[in-house]
Amino acid sequence: MELKFILMVVLFSAGVGGEVCPKQCDCDMDNGLNRAVCVDQNIIGIEVGVPKEVQVYSLSHNVISELDNFCFKDAGYTSLEMLDLSYNLIFWIGLHAFSGLDKLVHLDLSSNRLRFIPSDLFWDTPELDTLDLSSNVFESLKNEPFLMHSKLKVLNLNSCRIKALPPRLFNRLPNLRKLDLSENYVVTMKTEVLLPLRKLERIELRNDYWQCNTDFIAVESWISSQGITYEKQCKKKGPQMSEKMISIVPVLERKEVDVNDVWNITEKNDTMPAVPEQDTTPLTPFQKFDKEFSSVQAFVIGLEIGLAIGIVATYIWLNKFCTCGALSCRRPQTRRQRRRRMQRMDGDMRTNLLWSTIVNPDLETPPTFRRQLSLPDRSAPFPTYGLPGFTEAPLQIDAIRMPNRAETPPPPYNDCRINI
């Protein structure tokens, strides 16, 4: 009976509380707290099947991009005390995303893509002690409280690309003890930024862009006067190597020196100085020109002479290559004009030859005679139609008859050709 009772208890407990750790996570104990580590598993949401009693929940190195309102409360993770969401892709967080996390003490949101968060975002986490927002993109901060929390003690804003620190940035963090503002783009700051942090114990301002001006030196003096742990940035520069060498060389004392021993001082003489003799050597024409005219006048004279020579040369050139009456230049003929001129001359020559042949014919070669159609004298006249009593005249023989003329006319003579 006892064995059966034990088996029933085991089966009942397994059926009632049989929650198991998901395969993406490792579940164990850490300082007496229930821990679930779900790291680098490409998780896109906070709910992956982890038991609701988890107290230390790590979701770093995943691909979570948003935290909706009441997401932890709806998932039942109200017992969380430590939450790690670092190295994700979170760019938006709802105003009530952390609602229900009344026991949350440590929150890590570093290495995400946050550009802005509401100042009352952590109003639903009253026990929040440590907040890590490093490696986000808070480039421009307004002159208003960055966060409002009465119990927050540690704030990390390392490497957030912050360019300026407005005076009212930390007005609503009265219990802040540690502040990290290192590795940002801040150039200078004023004491008014740190005055509201009356319980500040440590501050980090490591930065390569600090300008050691009056405001920043005053900030460092105030930090030192308040006994805050701080590594000074504007340190006094030590002497350079050349300065050390100069400081080692002993300085010799100088003695007064009488100027009469080193200067050539002549006594004043009341007598009139002798007038130098004038040179009576006659000047050459070049020396006279150099004496009477300055360099500018000589340049102007040379310019006028050059212009006159150019005008004369231009006139001679125009007179040589252009007709004086019409002032029209004879341009050289082109190839086409020369070819037309030669063709015209060739045609005129042929015309002259032909005309001379007509006017003065060659008597040795008689021209061809024009033959007309003729009939023998014995042929009867053609009768006329329509006109009675009228007969046409008989056809006449050729006007010119040669006694020994052949019936077939001689061939025509060839024309005269001129080969040019």
Query: Would you say residue 80 lies in a domain?
Result: yes
Rounded to an integer, what distance in angstroms lies between the CA atom of residue 89 and that of residue 62? 8
Query: Would you say residue 253 lies in a domain?
Result: no
Residue 35, phi then psi, degrees to nearest 5: -120, 140
Rounded to an integer, what distance in angstroms lies between the CA atom of residue 233 and that of residue 211? 9
Give pLDDT < 50 ranges for the chain. Answer: 1-17, 238-239, 243, 246-247, 324-326, 369-379, 384-385, 387, 390, 392, 395-399
Residue 183: CATH number of its domain: 3.80.10.10
Residue 203, phi then psi, degrees to nearest 5: -140, 140
- Angle in degrees, CA 129, 132, 135, rounded to 5: 170
Q: Which pair of tokens denotes residue 267?
A: 């006594």
Query: Would you say residue 98 lies in a domain?
Result: yes
Rounded to an integer, what distance in angstroms lies between the CA atom of residue 165 and that of residue 110? 20
CB 131 within 8 A of CB 154: yes
Query: Would you say residue 394 lies in a domain?
Result: no
Q: Which pair of tokens denotes residue 416?
A: 């005269």
Task: Give me the number of domains the chain comprises.
Answer: 1
Range of the domain at 175: 26-199
What's the confidence (pLDDT) of residue 278?
Answer: 60
Specify the pairing of strand 92-93 against strand 66-67: parallel
Query: Would you say residue 99 lies in a domain?
Result: yes
Per the DSSP assignment, residues forming a β-bridge with 29 are 34
Q: Which long-range contacts (CB under 8 A, 24 or more apart) does 263-270 make?
A: none
**Buried b / exposed e along 182-197 (16+ C-beta atoms within 10 A):** bbbebebbeeebbebb
What's the confidence (pLDDT) of residue 407?
Answer: 55
Least Cα distance to 39 among 71, 76, 85, 90 occurs for 85
Encode pLDDT of 89-99 as tens digits.
999 999 999 99
Encode pLDDT of 172-228 as tens digits.
999 999 999 999 999 999 999 999 999 999 999 999 899 999 999 999 999 999 999
Rounded to an integer, what distance in angstroms lies between the CA atom of residue 165 and that of residue 195? 13
- E strand or H helix at 131, and its extent? strand 130-132
Residue 289, phi then psi, degrees to nearest 5: -60, -45
What's the confidence (pLDDT) of residue 398?
Answer: 47
Query: Would you say residue 368 lies in a domain?
Result: no
CA 105 to chain centre: 50
pTM above 0.85, yes or no: no
Query: Would you say residue 311 lies in a domain?
Result: no
DSSP 3-state assignment of 59? coil
- E strand or H helix at 355, and its extent? helix 335-359
CB 153 within 8 A of CB 178: yes
Least Cα distance to 147 among 132, 169, 165 occurs for 169
Query: Would you say residue 101 lies in a domain?
Result: yes
Q: Which residue has the tokens 């139609």?
A: 385
Overall residue count recorded for the chain in this entry: 420
